[in-house]
Amino acid sequence: MKLETNHATRAERAAYLAGALEGLYSGEAVPAATIGGRRAAIARLRQFDVTRYGTTRNHVTKRGISFLSPYIRHGVLALAEIRDYILTRFGAGRDTTKYINELAWRQFWQLVYAEYGNRIHQDIEPPKVPRNGTRRSLPDDILQATTGLVCMDESLRELYREGYMHNHARMWFAAYLQHWRGEDWRDGAELFYTHLLDGDPASNSLSWQWVGSTFSHKPYYFNRQNVEKFSDGEYCKRCPLASGGCPFDATYEQLARDLFGMSQEELEQGGQRRGQQSRR
C-alpha cells in the first residue's frame, strides 16, 4: 500500500502505519523490554494487547501494561504513532481511551517541563501537608532493598536489577519514602533517575511532586488493603511484617492522622494550603 502523504487523512495514515507494522517483523520473537532499537520497539508494540489495560494496569503482578516507556523515553517510538496504531488495531473504547490518557500524561509532563525548565526539580508549589525531609543520602535499607517490607524490597530489587518498576509500585514507593520515612522527594527522584531505563526528568520529578503534594492538591498515600488488592495478596503473603508491624495496615482516615496530622476531609480540601498547620 502506498501512502500519498500530502493528501492522506489521519485515518488513512493510521491504517497505513498499522499495515506497515503488521507486515514488519511478523513472527519475530519479542525481546526483553529494554533492548534493541526500533525493531524491538515495534515488536513490543505489536505484542501489546490493550484490551486488558483498564482492568490490569494498576495491578503490579498481572501487569497488562505495554513496557514501552524506555522506547518512548529515548525517542524510538513517538506517542502519536503508538496512539494511531492502538486506535487502528483495537478501535476506540474504554481500554484504548485509558491507554491514550496515559500517553497524554507523559505529554503533559513534557509540556510542563518545557514551560518551567529546571524549576521542576524544586518544589513547584508549597506542600499541602507538614514535611520533615531534608536532603541527604538515602538510608542503607533503601539502597540495599532490605526494608523488610516485601512490597518495597521486591520493587526496589526490580529497579536495581532490571531498570524498571511498575507504575503502581512507583507510587507506593514514592509515598513510602516521603510520607512514612520523611525523606526528601528529590533524593528519591535521583534514585529512580539513576536506575530507570525510562528515567525522564519531567515524568520522574513531576510524578514525585504529584505524590508529595507540591504539584497536586493533596498527597498520594495508600494502605495495606491497596497493596493486597493490586498484588493479589502476593507480597503480604510473604512479608514477615504482615502479622504485626506493617506500617500500611490501617484505614485511610487513621493514616491521614498518623502521617499528616489531619483528617481525610481536610486533606481533600487542600490541607495546609487552607490554613491547617498541624504537625506530625
Ligand X SMILES: Cc1cc2nc3c(=O)[nH]c(=O)nc-3n(C[C@H](O)[C@H](O)[C@H](O)COP(=O)(O)OP(=O)(O)OC[C@H]3O[C@@H](n4cnc5c(N)ncnc54)[C@H](O)[C@@H]3O)c2cc1C
Question: Where does this chain bind ligand X (CB under 6 A)?
Answer: 57, 65-69, 72-73, 102-103, 105-106, 109, 167, 170-171, 174, 192, 196, 198-200, 203-204, 207-208, 211
Torsion-angle region of residue 174: left (phi > 0), alpha (psi -120 to 50) or beta?
A: alpha
Q: 46 or 257: whose CB is closer to ligand X?
A: 46
Q: 106 or 217: whose CB is closer to ligand X?
A: 106
Which long-range contacts does 10-17 make (Cβ < 8 Å, 24+ apart)? 10/84, 13/84, 14/84, 14/85, 14/87, 14/88, 15/88, 17/81, 17/84, 17/85, 17/88
Instruction: Quote the least distance from Cβ 140 to ligand X, whole Å.
Output: 21
Q: 167 or 263: whose CB is closer to ligand X?
A: 167
Other Cβ atoms within 10 Å of 134 Cβ, number? 9
Cell of 110: 513534557
- Contacting residues for 27 by C-beta, under 8 A, at least 6 apart: none
Q: 63 or 273: whose CB is closer to ligand X?
A: 63
Q: 200 or 249: whose CB is closer to ligand X?
A: 200
Instruction: Quote the least distance from Cβ 164 to ligand X, whole Å.
Output: 7
- Contacting residues for 53 by C-beta, under 8 A, at least 6 apart: 64, 65, 95, 98, 99
262-271 burial, b at 16+ Cβ within 10 Å, e below that, comes to: bebebbebbb
Instruction: Quote the least distance from Cβ 98 to ligand X, whole Å.
Output: 9
Instruction: Quote the least distance from Cβ 70 to ligand X, whole Å.
Output: 8
Instruction: Quote the least distance from Cβ 68 to ligand X, whole Å.
Output: 4
